[in-house]
Amino acid sequence: MIVNYHSDAVAAKDAVAAVERAGGQATAVQADVRDATQLSSLVKTAVTEYGGLDVLVSNTGMARPTTLAEATDEDLELHFAINTRPVFRALKEAVLHLRHGGRVVVISSGATVVAHPGAGLYAASKAAAEQLARAAAHELGPRGITVNSVLPGATRTDALQAQMPADVAASIRSQTPLGRLGEPADIAAVVAFLVSDEGAWVNGQSIHASGGLF
């Protein structure tokens, strides 16, 4: 397994250690997936070190809340540069390198389902990535390759805890039937199913993983 990271080498090292404790093999590779050359090199490293490519999970994302009235062209470009273009390029790499029966999962967002003030650019860029995944599901299907998107609800990541006010988090918990925020492990479990043999018949879907929030 290749664990890609942009800047947080410590988190990447922890992920590698977790894989190894579970009996697997992993390598941390730093690459800015906004750069087509670095993304291509990242995939080729996986092919070289592990003999091929079976699973590709695209988990890039950023959000800079702004109303449409206040948004600039630079804001638009930034969201699509991080949330959409890397997915497009990753899917192109999947076409070239994924073996028969491979799996692709794109991490999208519940923002594409439920509108929030200030999240228009983020939602639009994630929705575009979802549509690329749907198209890829049809194009790669003849090779037995599935492509799906996962749409997390509010998930208790470091970024969310740093940005979300406590009262907003409490409101989301109260609106969620399961009465809590999501955990990274909740989303990982959905991804694990989709890339497993048991998930082989799920294809071209946008899977809601929100505890019932949407």
User: Which CATH number goes with the domain that contains 90?
Assistant: 3.40.50.720
Q: What is the pLDDT of residue 1?
A: 95
User: Which range among 41-50, 159-168, 179-188 shows the weakest confidence by mean pLDDT?
Assistant: 159-168
- The answer as to whether 48 is a domain residue is no
Question: Angle 85-97/36-50 helices, nearest 10 degrees?
Answer: 30
- The answer as to whether 86 is a domain residue is yes
85-116 burial, b at 16+ Cβ within 10 Å, e below that, comes to: bbbebbbbbbeebbeeebbbbbbbbbbbbeee
Residue 24 burial (CB count, 10 A):
10
Identify the three-state secondary structure at position 98.
strand
The mean pLDDT of the chain is 95
Active site residues: 122
- The answer as to whether 189 is a domain residue is yes
- What is the number of domains present in the chain? 1
The whole-model pTM stands at: 0.93
Segment 17-36 shows an average pLDDT of 95
